[in-house]
């Protein structure tokens, strides 16, 4: 029966399609378990508050591989439990950056008050997954993740982070979109691209629009119509032209940022549409951002 629900102290899983589970963590962050005939894939690993690996073992008996949409702390937790993950190489430095890998940061995220947080249980440091070195298998645009009778295509959509990936299930006509494009897409963070590079990423994603109907994202349980990509492309154009609403805000990094559209208390853009973008004015064009790389690597392109 679809709509089956399984839960424990930390997590709640709902079967949203046959063989596809949406799993909710403490901070309202989401990941997805998709089963094929030979193996299952866990798309993202939540924050690492409680053992997601143990919970997933309740959902599937198949061997599980972990792939990450990006390297932020609220998506990588279970990678450290499984000991390996697929990730775009541009996001490996982020995954191990102190902000995203220190256990105290995981505890902070899991206990922070946000509109989407569930706080199902009290989380303490004893519940936090240990950060250990893991095997990072490089995933690139155009790669295919084979689960047997299900395949996920890898699409690179730089923006929220340089290494942001989304995963397309053509048979099911759905896209696992992580934080790539949503009602509150954060471009203003350390490790985000410029608005110009994000626009390129969105145009690349638009080339796949006939292959799926809806997105399952990393925050917010409802699916999002694929038309959000058109909204986000139009908004990027306005931001680059300086004709957006430019509503001031402060980013999670404490920086001055702006929203492309004035938003309502639930983050919906006041102008209608599905997309909103938080950006930095000093990071509009290519070359204006600080890439998350050690200082001894000089990028030539």
Summarize as ranges the residues that interact with Zn ion (CB under 5 A). Answer: 72, 179
Q: How far is the CB of 182 from Zn ion (least distance, A)?
A: 10
Q: Which is nearer to Zn ion, 70 or 263 (CB)?
A: 70
Burial of 292 (C-beta count, 10 Å sphere; 0-12/13-18/19+): buried
Cβ at position 74, least distance to Zn ion in Å: 6
Long-range pairs of 6-10 with CB within 8 A, sequence gap ≥ 24: 6/55, 6/58, 6/59, 7/120, 8/50, 8/55, 8/58, 9/50, 9/120, 9/121, 10/49, 10/50, 10/51, 10/52, 10/55, 10/120, 10/121, 10/123, 10/127
CB of 36 to Zn ion, least distance (A): 26
Residue 81 CB, nearest distance to Zn ion (Å)?
19
Nearest residue relative to Zn ion (C-beta): 72
- Pair 239, 187: CB distance under 8 Å: no
Nearest approach in angstroms of CB 160 to Zn ion is 6
Comparison of 72 and 106: residue with beta carbon closer to Zn ion: 72
What minimum distance in Å lies between the beta carbon of 134 and Zn ion? 18
Select 31 or 147, whichever has its Cβ closest to Zn ion: 31
Of 47, 43, 89, 105, the C-alpha closest to 252 is: 105
Q: Which is nearer to Zn ion, 72 or 280 (CB)?
A: 72
87: its two tokens: 């990730």
Q: Judged by CB, which is closer to Zn ion: 43, or 59?
A: 43
Residue 80 vs residues 45, 121, 132, 174, 246: alpha-carbon distances, Å:
9, 22, 6, 27, 38
Specify the residue, 29 or 35, whose C-beta has the smaller distance to Zn ion.
29
């Amino acid at each position: 029966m679809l709509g089956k629900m399984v839960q424990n102290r930390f997590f709640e899983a709902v079967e949203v399609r046959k063989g596809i589970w949406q799993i909710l963590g403490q901070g309202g962050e989401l990941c997805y378990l998709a089963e094929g005939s030979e193996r299952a894939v866990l798309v993202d690993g939540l924050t690492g508050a409680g053992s997601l690996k143990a919970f997933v073992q309740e959902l599937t008996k198949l061997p599980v591989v972990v792939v990450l949409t990006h390297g932020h702390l609220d998506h990588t937790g279970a990678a450290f439990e499984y000991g390996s993950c697929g990730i775009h190489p541009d996001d490996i430095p982020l995954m191990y950056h102190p902000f995203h890998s220190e256990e105290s940061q995981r505890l902070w995220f899991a206990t922070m008050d946000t509109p989407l947080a569930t706080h199902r249980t009290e989380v303490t440091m004893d519940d936090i997954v240990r950060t250990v070195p893991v095997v990072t298998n490089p995933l690139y645009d155009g790669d295919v993740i084979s689960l047997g009778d299900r395949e996920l295509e890898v699409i690179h959509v730089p923006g929220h982070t340089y290494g942001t990936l989304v995963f397309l299930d053509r048979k099911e006509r759905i896209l696992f979109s992580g934080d790539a494009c949503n009602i509150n897409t954060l471009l203003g963070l350390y490790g985000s691209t410029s608005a110009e590079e994000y626009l390129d990423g969105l145009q690349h994603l638009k080339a796949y629009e006939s292959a799926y109907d809806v997105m399952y994202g990393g925050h917010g349980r409802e699916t999002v119509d694929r038309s959000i990509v058109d909204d986000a492309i139009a908004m990027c154009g306005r931001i680059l032209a300086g004709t957006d609403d430019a509503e001031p805000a402060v980013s999670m990094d404490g920086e001055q940022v702006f929203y492309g559209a004035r938003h309502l208390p639930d983050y919906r853009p006041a102008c209608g549409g599905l997309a909103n973008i938080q950006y930095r004015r000093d990071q509009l064009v290519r070359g204006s951002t600080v890439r998350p790389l050690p200082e001894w690597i000089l990028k030539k392109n």
